[in-house]
């Protein structure tokens, strides 16, 4: 397992910036390697897990950030990093993998 401590900038409804700090994210070796290969920042992964929506399927949890939440709470530069990223975790919270898919929600619901 790989543990990450991180922070991320968020914007509230009034466009005021606030910083979130996250610690103790657990990544499998596979997730760590794939996130690096796919240029998905651990900060983005933790943000999606903490604030995104979840779909429970096949004994795992799919996390993603809905587009309406992106537009409301994130600066445009952060939106591009977070958009279309899917994070898969086990029920104990360990990150299994992360990937990008524009049609992720449709694909997940079809499984």
DSSP class of residue 83 equals: T
Worst-scoring range by mean pLDDT, 27-31, 45-49, 101-105? 101-105
Confidence of residue 63 (pLDDT cuts 50, 70, 90): very high
Q: What is the pLDDT of residue 14?
A: 62
Q: Would you state the structure tokens that stand for residue 78, as one six-digit string?
A: 């952060």
Q: Is the pLDDT of residue 95 over 80?
A: yes
User: What is the arithmetic mean of pLDDT over 56-63?
Assistant: 93
Q: What is the pLDDT of residue 108?
A: 81
Long-range contact pairs involving 98-105 (C-beta distance under 8 Å, separation at least 24): 98/31, 98/34, 98/35, 98/38, 98/40, 98/45, 99/34, 99/38, 99/40, 100/38, 100/40, 104/62, 104/64, 105/55, 105/64
Q: What is the pLDDT of residue 3?
A: 41
User: What is the arithmetic mean of pLDDT over 70-96?
Assistant: 87
- Three-state SS at 71: helix
Q: Is the pLDDT of residue 28 over 60?
A: yes
CA gap 63, 6 in Å, rounded: 18
Strand partners, 19: 9
């Amino acid at each position: 397992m790989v543990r990450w401590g991180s922070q991320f900038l968020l914007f509230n409804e009034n466009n005021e910036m606030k910083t979130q700090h996250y610690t103790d994210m657990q990544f499998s070796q596979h997730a760590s390697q794939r996130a690096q290969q796919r240029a998905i920042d651990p900060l983005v992964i933790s943000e999606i897990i903490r604030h995104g929506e979840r779909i429970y399927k096949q004994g795992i949890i799919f996390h993603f950030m809905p587009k309406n939440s992106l537009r409301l709470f994130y600066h445009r530069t952060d939106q591009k990093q977070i958009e279309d990223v899917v994070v898969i975790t086990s029920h104990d919270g360990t990150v299994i993998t992360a990937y990008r898919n524009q049609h992720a929600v449709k694909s997940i619901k079809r499984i």
